[in-house]
Amino acid sequence: MAKAITVKQLKRQENTAGYLFASPWLIGLIVLGIFPILMSLYISFTNYNMISTMRFIGFENYRILFTNDNLFWKSLGNTVYHVAIAVPLSIVVGLALAFLLNNKVKGMSIYRTLFYLPNVVSVVAMTLLWMWLFQPNFGLINQILKPLYDLFGMEPIGWYLDQNLSKITLILMGLWTSGGSMVIYLAQMQDIPTTLYESAEIDGAGWWQKTIHITLPLMTPSIYFNFIMGLIGGFQVFTMAYIMTSGGPSRSTYYYAYYLFDKMMADNAMGMASAMAWILLIIVLIVTILALRLNKYVFYLGEES
């Protein structure tokens, strides 16, 4: 007769197992991660100039950022705008691509690889190319749209040279790397049991109904993932503006992370830059915790009882 085991012992076993499995990551965080993180927090309370001076100045950096810094609010506003539009848009596009490519038609492998190509190409090469394509005067896109412009009698769109459209232009360009989220959606789609589709078909469901009632609900784990990651990543948007528009025109694409970068590299104001980083962390943390509440709408196949 096997020794009886209590629920309490089982729970304790699971507790231990949990820590054991999480231990590589936990150890890494505490041993290798804590020092840099805490040091950067400390630096945010100093006037560190990256060479050697580091004098404690309390909340001065934070005070200045919130009350006496024109670009702080401008750059934050640009970033929030970007997040609000880019995140939903990229989810839609990523899903669309995944649906388009999730079938057994011949040649899908090649198409999938081609769609993923922009993620592999160097960011610099891609950005320069988009600069050329979207150039308002001789870029390919405005050339193609010329008949439309003539038809409606409107000025060619200024794309990244128009301060009202620059952020949207950068977001459009960013959609080229949707191949990344597409891959994750494709992977998720493989986990959907075909039996579900089969029984739905027997009940007479068409493509649309199958999508709404089976596919999308079962894709919520990865949609949720891309949403949260989109938020976190979106708040740190920087690279394309740096290469392409230098934050312009009229600081319309001057994002928070770009301003942070300038504080560090151009002004040597590492203390201030660290303060900006920690402010960003708090903001994103709050937004993310709110977003995590959406977890209740996520349908995990493994959680149904």
Site for another protein in 219-278 (CB under 8 A): 221-222, 224-225, 228-229, 232-233, 235-236, 246-251, 254, 257, 260-262, 264, 266-268, 270-274, 277-278
Q: How many residues bind another protein (CB under 8 A)?
A: 134
32 sits near another protein (criterion: CB under 8 A): yes
Give bridge partners of residue 46 from the DSSP assignment: 56
Query: 81 vs 248, which CB is nearer to another protein?
Result: 248
6 sits near another protein (criterion: CB under 8 A): no
Q: Which of 9, 66, 92, 114 binds another protein (CB under 8 A)?
A: 114
172 sits near another protein (criterion: CB under 8 A): no
Compose the 196-215 pattern: x for residues touching another protein by CB under 8 A, - for all others.
--x-----------------
Q: Which of 128, 75, 79 is nearest to 262 (CA)?
A: 75
Q: How far apart are CA 19 and CA 8, in angstroms?
A: 17
Q: Which of 9, 113, 143, 209 binds another protein (CB under 8 A)?
A: 113
Residue 70 region by backbone torsions, left for phi larger than 0, else alpha for psi between -120 and 50, else beta: alpha
217 sits near another protein (criterion: CB under 8 A): no
62 sits near another protein (criterion: CB under 8 A): no
CB-based contacts of 262, cutoff 8 Å, min separation 6? none
26 sits near another protein (criterion: CB under 8 A): yes
Query: 35 vs 73, which CB is nearer to another protein?
Result: 35
CB-based contacts of 193, cutoff 8 Å, min separation 6? 301
284 sits near another protein (criterion: CB under 8 A): yes
Query: 17 vs 212, which CB is nearer to another protein?
Result: 17
Give the residue ranges of DSSP H helices in the chain.
7-28, 34-43, 60-67, 70-101, 108-120, 123-133, 140-152, 166-174, 179-190, 194-202, 207-210, 216-234, 239-240, 256-265, 270-292
Q: Which tokens go with 189?
A: 């789609």
Q: How far apart are CA 202 and CA 200, in angstroms?
A: 5
The interface region with another protein, picked from 21-29, 79-87, 143-151, 164-172 by CB under 8 A, is 21-29
111 sits near another protein (criterion: CB under 8 A): yes
Nearest approach, Cβ of residue 210 and another protein (Å): 14
Query: 88 vs 193, which CB is nearer to another protein?
Result: 193
Do residues 95 and 223 lie in contact, with contact meaning Cβ atoms separated by under 8 Å?
Answer: yes
Q: Which tokens go with 139?
A: 């870029």
